Chains A and B, each alone.
Chain A
């Protein structure tokens, strides 16, 4: 398994039949977002806030499309109330969440939501997986996709800062 997990994740999303991708720009997801946006077979929707993506995912599923959401852990906080819709409707979505406030964080303002992301998502009924090494990303993402779309619930894969590297604020 190479370190090019973004490309492997893109291939997995395609293999699993994802048709819509909601994205908020993020350094950790830069490569995956670029791959999705260049693919005319995907509808990649740039969002102003992550909660828009949760509503997008419900609408996609109503119309028969599978939706993936790419966001940073701070964005998980923005999703909280909107996740009620997926819980009560038993609607699936997969969230790929790049972590901040995690291993080696420099910016204290990222820590509260980073540390709260997993328990908050769990409280809202999201099944959580977490990858800290490149070789874990695809197997865990596949597990998250299967539990989301086979068991009709939101699932999230948290991509830890040990995997991503912490932002240094030196350039």
Chain B
């Protein structure tokens, strides 16, 4: 599925996510609903990946709450262009909150993939990285090559955030790789992996 593409062609999304999550170490990951959640699962289901199955428009803000709660950990939000467009105000909120340990990476296929590949506003030229830059993200870029994705991975782990990147990916229809879908289970396994067994006794 990650067939070779020519220079300037959009990237294969699963290879992008695989590269971003390579040697993830202590990285905490929030995956937006739809293809980004399937991509993150294809790279390896992990208790410290929190895949969303709903709440469209909320992924970046889930990342902000997590990043503020865990300032010593790096937090990566992987989401789609349609999901990000639904909660664009979050970029302003995150830019103002200046969460240095938060990275938002939009896998931008310029489509609503789950509903029939209808074009999103990024297909018409809306530039999400420019929006993020205007909202105060010091590091905001669009990645178009695997080399840029590799350098992005390094900044996710070490850069001064908040960081934003749109990665231009191909509008491929890929086999579904589904994570667990019970939200209480996903929450409990994430909190236990992060906070230890005492997480279940927090009141």
Contacts and interface: CB of A to CB of B under 8 A. Distances in A.
Contact of A62 (B53, B89, B190): B190
A89 B194 CA distance: 16
A45 B68 contact: yes
B15 interface: no
B140 to A, nearest CB: 18
Contacts of A88: 53-54, 183-184
A84 interface: yes
B162 to A, nearest CB: 13
A130 interface: no
A62 B97 contact: no
Interface string B175-202: 0000000011011001100110001001
Contacts of B30: 59
Given A56-B61, A65-B68, A85 B93 contact: no
B49 to A, nearest CB: 11
Interface in B40-80: 50, 52-70
Max chain A Cβ within 10 angstroms of own Cβ: one of B59, B93, B97, B194: B93
Max chain A Cβ within 10 angstroms of own Cβ: one of B30, B55, B70, B97: B55
Nearest to A93: B65
Interface string B83-98: 0000101101100110
A51 interface: yes
Contacts, number: 125
Given A48-B89, A150-B203, A63 B194 contact: yes
Nearest to A91: B187
B145 to A, nearest CB: 31
A82 B54 CA distance: 8
A82 B58 contact: yes
Interface residues of B, number: 40
A59 B54 contact: no
A51 B66 CA distance: 16
A2 interface: no
Contact of A52 (B53, B56, B61, B186): B61
A84 B55 contact: yes
A60 interface: yes
Contacts of A46: 93, 96-97
Interface string A61-84: 111110100000000000001101
A19 B66 CA distance: 12
A59 B96 contact: no
B186 A89 contact: yes
Top 10 nearest A-B pairs by Cβ distance? Answer: A59-B65, A63-B69, A48-B89, A55-B58, A55-B61, A88-B183, A65-B69, A89-B183, A60-B65, A59-B62
